[in-house]
Chain A
Amino acid sequence: MFETGIRQFRMAMAMVSGRRINPQLIQRLVADADATLREFGSPGDDVDQLLDGPFADAETRTHFQTQGIRRTTRRLAAQSPFYAARFEAAGLDPRKPDLDAITAVPPTVKADLVASAGDFLCRDAHPYLSTRTTGTTGKPAEIWLSRYEAELWPAMAALSGLLRDEINHHDCLQINLSSRATAAVQHDIEVCRLVGARSRALGLLPIDQSLDSLLDTAGSGANPPTMLGTYPSYLARLVTAARRRGLGPGDFSLRRIDVGGEVLSQALASAARDTLGVTPNDAFAMTEVLPVSGRTCNQGHLHLDLNMGLVEVLALDGSGPAGPGELGTLVVTPYFPYRDCMPVFRYDTRDVVRCLAGEPLACNLAGSPGVSRILGKAAEVLDTDTALVTPRDIVEVIEQLPSQPWPAQYRARVDHGVLDLTVPAAALAGTTAASLVGRFDERGIGAVVTVDGSGEPLRSVRADLLETTFTTTRPDGEDRPDRSLVGV
């Protein structure tokens, strides 16, 4: 207990002073938190303050953010060739900038990362592990992590997860993420190791094999997964496969599902709850801005972790901050010392959100500011005569259709100021194109619908990054070598 107090004090001092945090210190705190939960079943009285920080107070928040930005600009100016040049070009004094001054620095975009990756590497960091974006929105970007980051981020996530009861030593996490998302997979496995949970890093296997793993038909039979981490599109296929097999909540042991990287519709979230027994958590995480992440509250707002970085919402036209109720793109600056090897500054994620109207928040995460859920990528927002149409607008409508066409397949463009939507014929089973137009009309979106009977995919989703295996499951349920793959 005394030692734990000293460790917490050391962690707080490192956070306040901006020095690198010893990952082993956080790892020991994880062990302390685990011991606390084993003894008491829950963390102690002031856990909210420890987890969420002092961000409810605007003045304190601004002070904290200014300090974070200052230590980040100082380091980037000294160690990052890309940002040393960019700060100089923008006329930013890296020694004492404030939140207004940094707006002179143009946001960094993915093209910068792809074109000048080497210049983003800090001179004083030692690259250890590379991770790539999945490339669903263009050429993949490669991000390098230092060993420090690879140790620190999971330790902090494990500590936070334990104290929030998001994971504990009884859990088993099934990881259905692309194996290209090295950092995310490594992160999840390490979090499990630190809290004493089990992990099954399966990748994006053929869907029935992942479903079998959730049921534990191929495993020990005693400890099926209690947690699932995946993409909404892969979750959609899991739910569809489970329904096809006639499975229900009683067949699974899940207590938590985390999804991110794509739009999760309400229809799919409800279906997952009805079939797998758990409402998925719609989280925000993005390779380029790690370790900053976001959680969705009980009222559907997205709250980003202000401890780790500065989050701005810029108007889609780049004219400045988005106003209340307006659409904007998330611009994120991870702070030093949390981001170390290949940091980004004012990184424009191009993920679109809507700023909240400005009323006081009454949700369970009201201690930190919120925005709407991610509405899609800025490049996919369509400017029609009636409204700006986001990918979420379209996905929400399509995935509510009676045919349950999950994940939604569509192609969208604007034609004469109207949303021109192409959907597969199968999506309209049990309904009509006119009915679909009516559903958009109810949302104030004028649309025309074209039916595509080719059966070809109309858009890419992450679940398409399917990984092959050497076995297939026969109709009788027995696995055997897949001759087409092994060439026998």
Chain B
Amino acid sequence: MSLIARQSLLQLCVSLAATMVVTLGAVAYLRRVRVERPAIGVFNFRDVGTLMVFIVTLPVIYLSLPRFWLTLFLVVTFAAALGIGLRPLLRPATLWLTVGVLLGANVFVARTMLGTQTGWQLYWVLVGTVVAISAISVANLYVQGGMQLRHAAWFTLALAAYDYYFSQIVPLTPHLADRFQGYPLNAAIGMRFDVFNAAIGIGDLLAFGIFAAAGYKAYGARALRLTVPLVAVFGAALPALTPLVLGAFTRGSLNVVVPVQTWFGPPAFLLYRWMRKHYGPERTMAEFLASEDVAAEAPVPVALPPVPMPAPA
């Protein structure tokens, strides 16, 4: 078997595992856990635009920041994302201890243990854990904040164009992948075997989580039965196997950067249009919460009971 075939096979396994963990994890979280939301505010198309501005500008910031500041920036960003997702599940002390251990271990392993195969694998496990929880959390922040499938569909379509442009026309994404590789808090889920290293970025995983969760919120299990195969085929399999037939995405022998969203965005958008036509209007969050698609048992509340305020004099 050729090197590129073995690389693609590893990429396929990693992508399938990562996309399924995030996609199904986001839906499971949506069914069982309620994230905090502000008193006023619902996700709308302006927010899609704002997200795109962040997505375009953040890589430039990542590339321009000195290493120390980049790591600090990533620590703050991931701590916030983990906090969003874990706050409804853990007591505050446990929450911040967990976040601290996860991020601290990540930094420690990246700085001291990457000289061995086992060290690399431990690095990817730690990074993957942080990235998966973060992607699930942020996807739920948006979807439980009112993001609809139509927003998600347009978002993925915009990402498709973005991904192609910044991987093939202006090679920002490959530079970004190089910048993160082997450093703390790599924004990807990956694995290493022998000389082969495969990963899928947090942006792609976030898009899958959003699309699946928004679809489930909108139409329930019938949407999930369509979105999961879509993610598996267009989000994991086809991008992983693309280098076998197209050399445009390969730099050197094994350095492959495929614009995953370019594969995923158009079919995701078409699937949304199909569901809209056949399933009708999307459910609101209130309608979703009132439906049987929400898990019957809410998690045991872990927040401390409110302390009665002293009455005013």
Report A's interface with B, CB cutoff 8 A.
Answer: 1-5, 8, 29, 32-33, 35-36, 38-47, 49-50, 55-58, 61, 163, 358-362, 366-369
Interface residue B77 (Cβ < 8 Å from any Cβ of A): no
B15 to chain A, nearest CB (A): 30
A484 to B264, CA, bound (A): 77
Establish whether residues A2 and B40, one from each chain, have CB atoms under 8 Å apart when the complex forms. no
Shortest distance in angstroms between B93's beta carbon and chain A's nearest beta carbon? Answer: 21
Within the complex, what minimum Cβ distance (angstroms) separates B182 from chain A? 34
CB-nearest residue of chain B to A45 = B36
Chain B binding surface SS class: loop
Q: Which of A4, A29, A50, A58 contacts B313 (CB 8 A)?
A: A58
- The reply to whether B286 and A369 contact each other, CB–CB distance below 8 Å, is no
Give the interface residue-count category, chain B. 20 to 34
Query: Any chain A CB within 8 A of the CB of B277?
Result: no
**Least CB distance, A117 to chain B, in whole angstroms:** 36
Contact among B46, B309, B312 for A3, CB-based, below 8 A: B46
Which B residues are within 8 Å of any A CB, using their own CB?
Answer: 36-44, 46-47, 50, 145-146, 284-286, 289, 309-313
How many Å lie between the Cα of A62 and that of B102 in the bound state? 44
**B267: shortest Cβ distance to chain A, in Å?**
27
CA A41 to CA B288, docked complex, whole Å: 11
Which of B36, B37, B40, B43 lies in contact with A29, CB distance below 8 A? B40
Across the interface, A43 reaches (CB within 8 A) one of B39, B44, B145, namely: B39
Set A1, A43, A61, A359: member contacting B43, Cβ < 8 A: A1
* Complex interface: chain A residues within 8 A of B310 (CB): 56, 360
Interchain CB contact (< 8 A) of A361 among B46, B284, B286, B312: B312
The 4 closest A-B pairs by CB, nearest first: A360-B311, A41-B286, A4-B41, A47-B39
- B152 to chain A minimum Cβ distance, whole angstroms, is 14
Report yes or no: B42 in contact with A39, Cβ–Cβ below 8 A. yes
Chain B residues with Cβ below 8 Å from A163 are: 39-40
In the complex, the answer to whether B312 meets A36 with C-beta atoms within 8 Å is no
Docked-complex contact B40 and A4, CB < 8 angstroms: yes
A58 to B311, CA, bound (A): 9
Q: A38 with B39: in contact, given A1-B47, A361-B312, A366-B311 (CB under 8 Å)?
A: no
- A1 interface neighbour in B42, B309, B312, Cβ under 8 Å: B42
Q: Which residue of A lies closest to B146 (CB)?
A: A39
* Contact partners of B50 in chain A: CB under 8 A: 2-3
Excluding A2-B50, A163-B40, A359-B311, 16 further A-B contacts by CB distance (< 8 Å) are A1-B41, A2-B47, A5-B38, A8-B39, A32-B42, A39-B286, A40-B37, A40-B285, A43-B39, A45-B37, A46-B38, A55-B312, A56-B311, A57-B309, A163-B39, A362-B311
